[in-house]
Structure 1
Amino acid sequence: MTNAEVKTPRERYREQMRAEIKQCARDQIATAGASALSLNAIAKHLGMSGPALYRYYANRDALITDLIRDAYRSLADTFRTARDAGAQPPELAAALRDWALADPHRYLLIYGTPVPGYHAPADTTAISDEVMHALLEVMLPAQALTFWTRLHGVLSLELAGHFTGMSVDPATLFANEVNSLVGE
């Protein structure tokens, strides 16, 4: 590790606090949804004052942006790993579903109902382009877009609980949708 890579105790503490703030925010989102995110509640949970939290995040939108970037980065990394392993559309679809089921609130943060009053900066949503590029490497553009939208439709319905009580197995439905899209 070079001197330029060594972090000061203050930098390490700042990173730790930001990670704790994000974890509290994710917990809040899982309980009440992204639109109910409260910086004051996070500060209180962490034993700090509201103004102290603003040393780490300028406002609610800055925190949401960081959470969205993390989610997009995680999905893009998941797709890159699958693509690098030679994944074809069915395997990419499985990677998407596994990623979404592992943390439904993270999925819904980026693909669910938009947070009222929040607009993601362009550099944040640009990360999502990496996911589509992985599909475009194995499919034609129109196919990739159809594939992406139909799979998100099934996943969004599943994660929102809309198949409950319908005698529908979401895994089977998802697999059937993938098969119909790739012509199997």
Structure 2
Amino acid sequence: MVVAGVVLLVGCGGDVEGTAVARERWDPCSIPDEAIEATGLDPTYRDVGWDEGIVVDDWALCTYRAPAERQSYFLSVFSSNEHEVSDARDDKRRLNGRDLQIGDRDAFQYESGVSDAVQDCNIFVAVPTGVVWFAVDFAGGIEPRSDPCGIVRTHATDLEHLLPPLPR
């Protein structure tokens, strides 16, 4: 069926030049220090990529930390050109999922519930090249003083203007 569609398009389209362009993945480490500080995170802490020996081809990762004077948590920002908001929305393992908007963007918020030792909240946000995933994690049994979902929504909202622009 796909081959027949391609044959029809090529047969009816005349001369076609060029190649398909892959969607370029946005770099979550491109967030400027000023924006990190403005959203209440420590601009001197930036952990780029995955731990040594871990390769995750479909996700880029940059992790930021709340300053020591605030309760300690991490904001991880992931980016993928191979996934979409619907991937999180359709995954039945996501807890307390809810649709929302971050700016004018489609978004989905959920908790992972992976461990009693980790309190987290996650938001997948649509970008033209795929998805950006914001995750707030309180690890090591730290009990959050504030709702992790409120914290991640604040960071995602504060940083939304830095994401690849939506088509107009």
* TM-score after normalising by structure 1: 0.22
- Which has the larger helix fraction? 1
TM-score (norm 2): 0.23
**As a proportion of its length, which structure holds more strand?**
2
